Amino acid sequence: MDSVTIKTHSPALYRTLRVDAFVRAPIRLFLLRLGLFLHVCSITVLCIAFLLRALSHTFLGGLFSFFSSFDPFFLWGFFFIAAAFFYFFLFIEFFYIASSRAVIVGKKEDSDIALLLSGAALYAELGILKEKGDFSLFDAYTMLHRNAVYGASCARLGVSPVDFSSFFHSQKESLRQVYIPRREFVRRMAGLDTGDGEVVQFGVLSCALGLYDIDERLRSFLFERRIGREEFAGALAWIEELHKMRVQKRAFWEKAELGRTPGVAKDFGFGYTYTLDAHSRDIPADGNMLVRAGRVHIIDAVENILSKSGEANVLLVGKDGVGKETVLEGLATRIFRGIVSPFLEYKRIVRLDIDSIIAGTKTKGAFEERMIRILSEAVGAGNIILVLEDFPHAIESAERIGSDLVSITEHAFSGKALQVIALADPRGYHAVLEPHGKVQALFSKIDIEEPNELETQIILQEVVPAIERNSHIIFSYQALARISKIAGRYIQTGAMPEKAINLADEVFTAYATRGSGIILSADVDTFASRKLKIPLGDAEDKEKDILLHLEDLLHERIINQQEAIRTIADTMRRARAGIRNQKRPIGSFLFLGPTGVGKTESAKALASVYFRGEDRMIRFDMSEFQGEEGIKKLIGSFETSGQGMLSREARDNPFALYLFDEIEKASHEVLNLFLQILEEGFFTDSRGDRISMRETIMILTSNAGASSIWDLVKKGKDPAEVKKEVVDTIQREGIISPELLNRFDGIVVFHPLSGEQLGQVARLLLGEFKARLKEKDISLEISDALVKKVVEIGYNPAFGARPMRRAIADRIEAYVAKKMLAGELKRGDVVRFSEQDIENL
pLDDT digits (tens, 9 = 90+) for 62-91: 555 555 555 667 778 888 999 999 999 888
564 versus 115: the higher-pLDDT residue is 115
SS3 (DSSP) at 234: helix
Instruction: Look at residue 195 in the predicted model and tell me its pLDDT.
Output: 64
Three-point CA angle 137, 140, 141, nearest 5°: 90
pLDDT of res. 421: 96
Contact 183, 137 (CB under 8 A): no
Q: Which residues contact 21 (CB under 8 A, 6 or more apart)?
A: none
Predicted confidence at residue 513, as pLDDT, reads 83
Residue 284, preceding bond cis, omega within 30 degrees?
Answer: no
Q: What is the pLDDT of residue 7?
A: 76
Of residues 121 and 722, more confidence is placed in: 121
Phi, psi (5° rounding) for residue 242? -60, -40
Confidence of residue 643 (pLDDT cuts 50, 70, 90): confident
Amino acid at site 210:
G
Q: How many CB atoms lie within 10 A of CB 54?
A: 13
d(CA 122, CA 218): 18
- Beta bridge partners, 691, equal 683
CA–CA dist 108, 373 (Å, integer): 61
Helix spans in 286-422 (H): 296-306, 324-337, 354-361, 364-381, 391-400, 405-413
| pLDDT tens digits along 315-339 | 999 999 898 998 999 899 888 888 8
pLDDT digits (tens, 9 = 90+) for 680-693: 999 988 877 888 89
pLDDT tens readout for residues 646-669: 999 998 888 899 999 999 899 889
If phi > 0 it is left, if psi is from -120 to 50 it is alpha, else beta; for residue 823 that is left
pLDDT digit string, tens, across residues 550-595: 888 888 887 777 877 888 888 778 777 767 778 889 889 999 888 7
Residue 560 DSSP label: S
Assign 674 a pLDDT band (cuts: 50, 70, 90). very high
CA distance 774 to 770: 6
Cβ-based neighbours of 25, under 8 Å, separated by 6 or more? none
Helix (H) or strand (E) holding 811: none
pTM beyond 0.85: no
